[in-house]
């Protein structure tokens, strides 16, 4: 390039920069925004902005962040409140109106089913189009695809051949083709859970990673059970780490505080070490020491002769009773959700405060029954770990709920570059909460109770929570989906 041309370009870009600054100023002074949020503490984990500002929103996007007052058709007073990016939950199984309402009340603006995923990506998105309170998205799921190919009778999780039988080579081909089709149809990631498909060989799981790698899709995995039953046996974790190394697929380890058991710190150390060697490995945690799963699933195979205390520790949320050996065996034949101890409060804290973990709920409510993590995860981290225990800074907690999950997905699904941030041009997915009051209200006995202290939630520029209450009759949620590619 000739030197004078270089100079001209420099002048031109300086002129453009000046004119764009002038444009922003003009916008601030004259425009009336759809919504103006006044006097809130804006927290943007990417730029580090943590100051009182006014935010102007129009047509679903953040248009201005200013120290000057802004005018809106609708005005929100946010004095003493935090204006954070809407929370992005990478792990939310319940994907219907009941669950979206509970998520919105906990500050979640995007809820994603990435661990289990689906066997039919098109149908999954079509079922929610125009009907969702918050943004939604799904992965191509190895478990449901294996269930479909092997005709497993289970609902939600496998209870038959998909759990207990090795796939034939023809079945394996169909399973991999199914996962690949999901990726072509814009699945955000690949879902995987060898704990629930114990008969899937190490080879089969490796092939799933190969498929994900070809599409740059992260693999969100519930690792094979090992740590909980056998401390210092890391083989379930090492399996997926090895597969990520061998294939180049990005790896995301689901709920490390539960599947990591007593080895959660060892596993976090291994993730940090892998990252320092350039591997794309991430993880998540939820702030509860009990888990929820299906009683008929393979996690409870060969548990008929445990001590009484084992059964007594398990809650049957449908009735609120704790189990005995007799009721365990009876309910296992019927099938249903169960809440069982997963780890200790110390291990949960270690996972939540570690800079590596994102916050993700693993939530699902059915007619008000389920685990409190569905409705309480985010407010619990902000109320208990940030405010009460001071175990985590507010900005660090916000980062774990917003920017980190957006960055996890943005290479494959570029729409996430506009989420998880309070910046001009970003999607107006915004959670406004009182840092002095925010707290979870969901309990193991009353899991459906909404969190408190979350005052306003906006999804694509529409209010879904106003003055601490859900707004009725609005459905601004949109599909969060990777680009769709042609299939043959
Ligand atoms: Zn799981």
Encode pLDDT of 245-290 as tens digits. 999 999 999 999 999 888 999 999 999 999 999 999 999 999 999 9
Compute, in angstroms, the gap from residue 397 CA to the centroid of ligand 1: 22
Task: Specify the DSSP element, H or E, that contains 461.
Answer: none
* pLDDT at 226 > cutoff 80: no
* pLDDT at 16 > cutoff 60: no
Phi, psi of 100 (to 5 degrees): -60, -35
Compute, in angstroms, the gap from residue 174 CA to the centroid of ligand 1: 24
* pLDDT at 14 > cutoff 70: no
Task: Specify the DSSP element, H or E, that contains 220.
Answer: strand 219-221
CA-angle at 220, arms to 376 and 409, nearest 5°: 85
Compute, in angstroms, the gap from residue 299 CA to the centroid of ligand 1: 11
Compute, in angstroms, the gap from residue 222 CA to the centroid of ligand 1: 5
* pLDDT at 149 > cutoff 70: yes
Output the six-digit token pair for 381.
Answer: 């981290």
CA distance 179 to 174: 9
Compute, in angstroms, the gap from residue 293 CA to the centroid of ligand 1: 8
Compute, in angstroms, the gap from residue 221 CA to the centroid of ligand 1: 7
The DSSP code for 383 is I
* pLDDT at 1 > cutoff 90: no
CA distances from 342 to 231, 237, 291, 414 (A): 13, 16, 6, 35
* Residue 289 and residue 344 in contact, taking contact as beta carbons nearer than 8 Å: yes
pLDDT tens for each residue of 410-424: 999 999 999 999 999
pLDDT for 156 equals 87
Check residues 21 and 65 and name the one with the higher pLDDT: 65
Among 18-27, 189-198, 323-332, 341-350, the range scoring the smallest mean pLDDT is 18-27
* pLDDT at 190 > cutoff 80: yes
Compute, in angstroms, the gap from residue 195 CA to the centroid of ligand 1: 8
Compute, in angstroms, the gap from residue 291 CA to the centroid of ligand 1: 9
Percent of the chain with pLDDT over 90: 86
pLDDT for 488 equals 60
CA distances from 265 to 32, 306, 380 (A): 51, 28, 22
- Biggest CA–CA distance in the chain, Å, is 86
pLDDT for 231 equals 79
Q: How confident is the model at residue 385 (pLDDT cuts 50, 70, 90)?
A: very high
Phi, psi of 29 (to 5 degrees): -75, -40
Compute, in angstroms, the gap from residue 194 CA to the centroid of ligand 1: 10
pLDDT for 12 equals 46
pLDDT tens for each residue of 70-95: 999 999 999 999 999 999 999 999 99
* Residue 364 and residue 374 in contact, taking contact as beta carbons nearer than 8 Å: yes
Q: How confident is the model at residue 165 (pLDDT cuts 50, 70, 90)?
A: very high
User: What is the CB neighbour count within 10 angstroms for residue 467?
Assistant: 9
Compute, in angstroms, the gap from residue 128 CA to the centroid of ligand 1: 23
Compute, in angstroms, the gap from residue 115 CA to the centroid of ligand 1: 7
* pLDDT at 454 > cutoff 50: yes
Compute, in angstroms, the gap from residue 255 CA to the centroid of ligand 1: 7
Task: Specify the DSSP element, H or E, that contains 327.
Answer: helix 325-334
Compute, in angstroms, the gap from residue 69 CA to the centroid of ligand 1: 46
| pTM score, whole prediction | 0.92
Among 112-116, 300-304, 446-450, the range scoring the smallest mean pLDDT is 300-304
Buried b (16+ CB within 10 A) or exposed e, 51-67: eebbbbbbebbbbbbbe
The candidate with the shortest Cα–Cα distance to 119, out of 54, 55, 60, 187, is 187
pLDDT for 8 equals 46
Compute, in angstroms, the gap from residue 55 CA to the centroid of ligand 1: 38
pLDDT for 30 equals 63
Compute, in angstroms, the gap from residue 220 CA to the centroid of ligand 1: 9
Compute, in angstroms, the gap from residue 258 CA to the centroid of ligand 1: 9
Output the six-digit token pair for 360.
Answer: 């993700």
Compute, in angstroms, the gap from residue 480 CA to the centroid of ligand 1: 21
Compute, in angstroms, the gap from residue 318 CA to the centroid of ligand 1: 20
**What's the mean pLDDT when you consider all of the chain?**
93
Q: What is the CA radius of gyration of the chain?
A: 23
The candidate with the shortest Cα–Cα distance to 306, out of 229, 235, 236, 223, is 229
Compute, in angstroms, the gap from residue 228 CA to the centroid of ligand 1: 13
Output the six-digit token pair for 30.
Answer: 């004259």
Compute, in angstroms, the gap from residue 224 CA to the centroid of ligand 1: 10
Compute, in angstroms, the gap from residue 363 CA to the centroid of ligand 1: 10
Compute, in angstroms, the gap from residue 483 CA to the centroid of ligand 1: 26
Q: Which residue has the tokens 């929103």?
A: 57
* Residue 454 and residue 104 in contact, taking contact as beta carbons nearer than 8 Å: no
Average pLDDT, integer, range 370-378:
97
Alpha helices in 128-220 (DSSP H): 142-149, 161-164, 169-184, 202-214
């Amino acid at each position: 390039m000739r030197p004078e041309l270089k100079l001209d370009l420099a002048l031109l870009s300086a002129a453009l920069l000046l004119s764009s600054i002038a444009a922003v100023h003009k916008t601030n002074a004259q425009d009336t925004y759809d919504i103006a949020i006044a006097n809130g503490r804006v927290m943007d984990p990417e730029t580090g902005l943590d100051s009182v500002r006014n935010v102007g929103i129009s047509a679903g996007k953040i248009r201005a962040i200013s120290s000057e007052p802004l005018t809106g058709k609708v005005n929100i007073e946010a004095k003493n409140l935090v204006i954070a990016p809407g929370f992005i939950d990478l792990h939310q199984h319940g994907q219907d109106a009941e669950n979206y309402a509970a998520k919105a009340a906990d500050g979640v603006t995007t809820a994603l089913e990435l661990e289990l995923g689906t066997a039919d990506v098109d149908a999954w998105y079509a079922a929610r189009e125009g009907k969702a309170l918050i943004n939604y998205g799904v992965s191509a799921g190895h478990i449901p695809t294996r269930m479909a190919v092997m005709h497993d009778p289970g609902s939600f999780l496998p209870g038959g051949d998909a759990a207990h039988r090795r796939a034939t080579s023809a079945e394996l081909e169909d399973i991999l083709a199914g996962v690949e089709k999901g990726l072509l149809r814009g699945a955000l990631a690949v879902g995987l859970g060898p704990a629930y498909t114990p008969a899937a060989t190490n080879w089969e799981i490796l092939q799933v990673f190969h498929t994900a790698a070809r599409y740059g899709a992260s693999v969100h995995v519930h690792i094979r059970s090992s740590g909980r039953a056998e401390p210092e046996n890391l083989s379930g974790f090492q399996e997926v780490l090895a597969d990520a190394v061998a294939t180049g697929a990005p790896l995301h380890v689901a709920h490390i505080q539960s599947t990591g058991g007593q080895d959660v710190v060892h596993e976090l150390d291994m993730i940090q070490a892998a990252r320092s060697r350039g591997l794309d490995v991430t993880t998540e945690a939820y702030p509860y020491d009990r888990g929820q799963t299906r009683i008929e699933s393979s996690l409870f195979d060969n548990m008929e002769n445990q001590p009484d205390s084992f059964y007594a520790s398990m809650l049957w949320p449908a009735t609120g009773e704790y189990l005995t050996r007799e009721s365990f065996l009876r309910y296992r034949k019927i099938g249903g959700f169960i809440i069982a101890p997963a780890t200790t409060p110390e291990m949960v804290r270690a996972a939540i405060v570690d800079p590596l973990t994102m916050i993700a709920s693993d939530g699902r409510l059915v007619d008000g029954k389920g685990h409190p993590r569905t409705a309480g995860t985010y407010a619990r981290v902000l109320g208990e770990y940030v405010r009460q225990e001071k175990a985590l800074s507010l900005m660090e907690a916000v980062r774990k709920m917003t920017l980190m999950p957006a960055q996890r997905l943005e290479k494959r699904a570029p729409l996430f570059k506009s989420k998880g941030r309070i910046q001009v041009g970003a999607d107006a997915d915004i959670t406004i909460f009182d840092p002095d009051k925010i707290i979870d209200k969901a309990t193991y006995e009353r899991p459906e109770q909404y969190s408190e202290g979350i005052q306003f939630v906006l999804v694509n520029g529409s209010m879904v929570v106003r003055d601490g209450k859900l707004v009725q009759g609005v459905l601004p949620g949109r599909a969060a989906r990777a680009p769709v590619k042609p299939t043959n």
